[in-house]
């Protein structure tokens, strides 16, 4: 059996082993998929041992996505753009680093019926989670993408980094400080889609004020929180204004599906059914 694993710290609550076992069953394959919990400073040692022992591929989650980028011999273009790696695989003794997070988010949104082409999108946060999804979002050619962050400098850095890609897809890309969200006249119109990629979803606070929520959401908006397993304060703000909401569980399953296809071959895509796995997890 080919051996795969997910590495993170903490890792015990990871749903990845279950998800990948389901994909294996659906495509009638037998794989071994385990958990790895490296010490915070020991990702490289764990990954070296894993691949030296014949491991075929690894999913990487918090807090090791930057370590995984360092560890990979070669990065795919989208991993380079994301600045982080969530999927490692070995081919002819070369370890490749890829990133399927953004593709997973985009697929989950599209499956949920959210039109991205021509949409006005607000992305909250300017950390690794935001950077990881910006490329795939821009490639969907929304009309506008606004990055809002507590520290405006970090949002502005992302705008610089992705400026060329935005231009090539004719996207109006802007940054704004979270605190200025309700003030800035040209960004505070309602958004079609608001994505929470801040770490605020983990605690029970929303990154946006109620005043900002009132200008950002209408009943036609869609609010997406990358956190999963609960209705966050951010989602409640959107629900209160009649918007549709989603947590990030679909993104988790869809990024896993992409990783599975990288490892097991694109011809499996007809056989696996991520939405059935998502329903089981719900």
Binding site for NADP(+): residue ranges? 125-129, 226, 248
Tell me the angle at which helices 249-264 and 274-281 cross, rounded to the nearest 10 degrees: 140
| Strands ordered across the beta sheet of 2-7 | 31-36, 2-7, 57-60, 87-91, 94-98, 74-75
Nearer to ligand ATR, 128 or 135 (CB): 128
| Interaction residues for ligand ATR, span 126-155 (CB under 6 A) | 126-129, 149-151, 154
Q: How far is the CB of 200 from ligand ATR (least distance, A)?
A: 4
Q: How far is the CB of 225 from ligand ATR (least distance, A)?
A: 12
| Interaction residues for ligand ATR, span 202-231 (CB under 6 A) | 205, 207
x/- mask, ligand ATR, residues 69-108, rule CB under 6 A, reads ----------------------------------------
Compute how many residues bind ligand ATR; rule: CB under 6 A.
15
Q: How far is the CB of 74 from ligand ATR (least distance, A)?
A: 23
Decide if 252 contacts 226 (C-beta within 8 A): no
Minimal CB distance residue for ligand ATR? 127
Q: How many angstroms separate the Cα of 216 from the Cα of each of 10, 51, 251?
A: 34, 47, 23
Element (H, E) at 251: helix 249-264
Q: How far is the CB of 124 from ligand ATR (least distance, A)?
A: 7
Q: Are strands 87-91 and 94-98 parallel, antiparallel or unpaired?
A: antiparallel
Which one of 103-111, 135-143, 183-191, 200-208 is the stretch in contact with ligand ATR (CB under 6 A)?
200-208
Q: How far is the CB of 158 from ligand ATR (least distance, A)?
A: 10
Element (H, E) at 77: helix 77-82
Written as six digits, the tokens of 90 are 């070995």
- The C-alpha atoms of residue 45 and residue 182 are separated, in whole angstroms, by 47
Which one of 107-115, 121-129, 167-175, 273-281 is the stretch in contact with ligand ATR (CB under 6 A)?
121-129
Phi-psi category of 113—alpha, beta or left, where left has phi over 0 and alpha has psi -120 to 50? left
Asked if 183 is an active-site residue, the reply is: no
Which one of 86-94, 122-130, 216-224, 259-267 is the stretch in contact with ligand ATR (CB under 6 A)?
122-130
* Tokens 């946006």 found at: 208
User: Choosing from 1, 44, 56, 65, which is the catalytic residue?
Assistant: 65
Nearer to ligand ATR, 66 or 262 (CB): 66
- The C-alpha atoms of residue 125 and residue 5 are separated, in whole angstroms, by 29
- The C-alpha atoms of residue 81 and residue 4 are separated, in whole angstroms, by 25
Mark the binding-site residues, compressed into ranges. Answer: 14-16, 61, 86, 101, 125-129, 226, 228, 248, 255
Which of 38, 57, 97, 125 is in the footprint of ligand ATR by CB under 6 A?
A: 125
DSSP string, 182-219: TT-TTT-S--SEEEE-SGGGTTT--SS-HHHHHHH--T
Annotated catalytic residues are 65
Interacting residue ranges for ligand ATR, rule: CB under 6 A? 125-129, 149-151, 154, 178, 198-200, 205, 207
């Amino acid at each position: 059996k080919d051996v795969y694993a997910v590495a993170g710290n903490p890792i015990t609550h990871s749903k990845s082993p279950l998800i990948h076992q389901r994909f294996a069953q659906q495509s009638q394959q037998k794989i071994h998929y385990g958990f790895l919990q490296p010490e915070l400073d020991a990702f490289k040692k764990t990954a070296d041992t894993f691949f030296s022992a014949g491991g075929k591929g690894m999913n990487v989650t918090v807090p090791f996505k930057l370590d995984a980028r360092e560890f990979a011999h070669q990065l795919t273009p989208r991993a380079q753009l994301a600045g982080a790696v969530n999927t490692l695989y070995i081919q002819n003794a070369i370890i490749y680093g890829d990133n399927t997070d953004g593709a997973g988010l985009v697929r989950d949104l599209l499956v949920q019926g959210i039109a991205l082409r021509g949409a006005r999108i607000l992305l909250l946060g300017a950390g690794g989670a935001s950077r990881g999804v910006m490329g795939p979002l821009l490639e969907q050619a929304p009309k506008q993408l606004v990055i809002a962050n507590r520290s405006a400098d970090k949002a502005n850095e992302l705008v610089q980094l992705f400026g060329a890609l935005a231009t090539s897809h004719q996207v109006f890309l802007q940054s704004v400080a979270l605190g200025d969200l309700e003030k800035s006249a040209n960004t505070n119109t309602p958004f079609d889609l608001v994505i929470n990629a801040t770490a605020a979803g983990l605690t029970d606070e929303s990154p946006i004020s109620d005043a900002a929520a009132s200008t950002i959401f209408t009943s036609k908006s869609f609010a997406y929180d990358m956190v999963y397993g609960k209705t966050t304060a951010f989602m409640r703000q959107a629900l209160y204004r009649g918007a549709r909401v989603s947590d990030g569980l679909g993104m988790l399953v869809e990024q896993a599906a992409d990783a599975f296809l990288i490892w097991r071959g694109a011809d499996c895509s007809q056989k696996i059914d991520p939405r059935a796995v998502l329903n089981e997890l719900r």
